[in-house]
Structure 1
Amino acid sequence: MVAAPAIPGLFCCFAAVVLLVFACVSGNVWDRISFLDTVVNGRTIHFGVFGYTGIDRPVVGYNIQDAVGNAFQDGTLGTYALKSLTIVMILHPIAAVFAFVACLFGFCGAGFSRIGTILMSLCAALATLITLVVWVVDMSLWGIVRNRLRSGGFSAEYGNANWLVLGALVALLSGFCTAAFGSCFPMRRRTTVERV
């Protein structure tokens, strides 16, 4: 028996996994994907989940003031609050893991039983909540940094990772809704029709 109602939710959750993984490798790992792009003293800096371009190793939580160096003198980018918000960026891979677990349950729901679809909807709901928190933190953190850099006379633009996270949020919300809605329907049963 195939639980066809699980399939749309499975596709949505898989799309969210891909988008969140791309957002996780932003900044110092893959500089084409970033949360904020700025040019300071002729050097382009791409900020990501685990650091920024030019950093030697990935870190959880980093000082944005260190990235821009002495070019931004007032020190407002080195506050404890902004460093704490960069620590919250660790929720990106956590949301990706929960979305992946939702995909695994979706495979079980699509191939075996309704319980997989129900578990997929629960994992997708949790991943949706985490991704919502992550997206709000992203927009707050990078909005503050962007405004402070612009007020200091530097160029700063949002990167594409913000919109990848928003796309993942929409995909997870769709995956949760379709999985929850699909788990309410009876499963398809094969019926045999006797011909007379």
Structure 2
Amino acid sequence: MRKMATSPAFPGLFFCFSAMVLLIFVSVSVPVWSKVSFLNITTDGNAIKFGVWGYTGSAKGLGYSLQPFGINDSFLNNGALKNLTYILVFHPVAAGLSFLSVVFGACGALNYSRFGAIFMTLVSALAFLITAIAFAVDMVLWDIVRSRIRNDGGSANLGNAIWMTLGALVALIFGSCAAGCGSFGRYRQHRQSHHF
């Protein structure tokens, strides 16, 4: 009796799936889901969390002012910082690309298809680039805001969404590499063994 062989696409599929889950969590951050945020501040007794689509108590939308109630800092309301909040949409875009890489990886793994593994490599590499941009913007934007809040006497700490984005970035690095290596695996031999 023959053992069923594992597809070379499985390791890449695992990492891309992990990245997808993390990016979905980040994409539904505050104000949609209060457990996930980029920055948590406390000023004048008000606790405010910032997410992809807004902050605590704000309407959901793309791009928002970084000067919510209780914070009197004109620097936080300048156009450059507000424009950086529009780039936060890269998180759901990267989640969507990670989902596509999972779909291609599943096709490659379940059908022993080299093309599925190749497309998973390409799409996960693109998801990696988008996630890298999102992570860089996260670090710059939220570090500036955190520093300004602390300078004004408030309390500000980075939230878990930044670290989830970093985890997704690392998973996509491994996923892209594993998918690339997996695309050179032995697909023909596995396909023939299923027909006997």
Per the TM superposition, whether the score is higher than 0.5 is yes
| 1:179 equivalent in structure 2 | 179
| 2:90 equivalent in structure 1 | 91
- The question of 1:170 aligning with 2:167 is answered no
After superposition, the C-alpha distances for 1:95-135 in whole angstroms (9 at most, x for unaligned) are 00000000000010001211000000000000000000000
Q: Which runs of 4+ in 1 moved over 6 A?
A: none
2:8–2:186 Cα contact (<8 Å) kept: no
After superposition, the C-alpha distances for 1:72-102 in whole angstroms (9 at most, x for unaligned) are 3340110101100000001110000000000
1:26–1:49 Cα contact (<8 Å) kept: yes
| 1:14 equivalent in structure 2 | 17
| 2:79 equivalent in structure 1 | 80
Would you say how many aligned residue pairs link Structure 1 and Structure 2? 188
| 1:132 equivalent in structure 2 | 132
Tell which deviates more after alignment, 15-24 or 1-10. Answer: 1-10
Change (3 A) 1:25 1:100: same
1: CA distance between counterparts of 2:115 and 2:62?
36
The residue type equivalent to 1:20 in the other structure is L
| 3-state SS, counterpart of residue 29 of structure 1 | coil
| 1:47 equivalent in structure 2 | 50
2: CA distance between counterparts of 1:128 and 1:92?
11
| 3-state SS, counterpart of residue 48 of structure 2 | strand
1:3–1:111 Cα contact (<8 Å) kept: no
Change (3 A) 1:191 1:94: closer
The residue type equivalent to 1:61 in the other structure is G
The residue type equivalent to 2:131 in the other structure is T
- The question of 1:143 aligning with 2:143 is answered yes
1: CA distance between counterparts of 2:42 and 2:135?
24
1:105–1:117 Cα contact (<8 Å) kept: yes
2:23–2:91 Cα contact (<8 Å) kept: yes
| 2:122 equivalent in structure 1 | 122
2:40–2:157 Cα contact (<8 Å) kept: yes
2: CA distance between counterparts of 1:140 and 1:80?
15
2:104–2:116 Cα contact (<8 Å) kept: yes
| 2:155 equivalent in structure 1 | 155
2: CA distance between counterparts of 1:148 and 1:154?
9
Question: Once superposed, what is the RMSD of the aligned Cα atoms?
Answer: 1.6
Residue 27 of structure 1: how far off its partner (Å): 1.3
Unaligned 5+ segments in structure 2 are: none
1: CA distance between counterparts of 2:193 and 2:53?
54
2: CA distance between counterparts of 1:159 and 1:118?
35
Identity of aligned residues (%): 48
Change (3 A) 1:185 1:54: same
1:2–1:111 Cα contact (<8 Å) kept: no
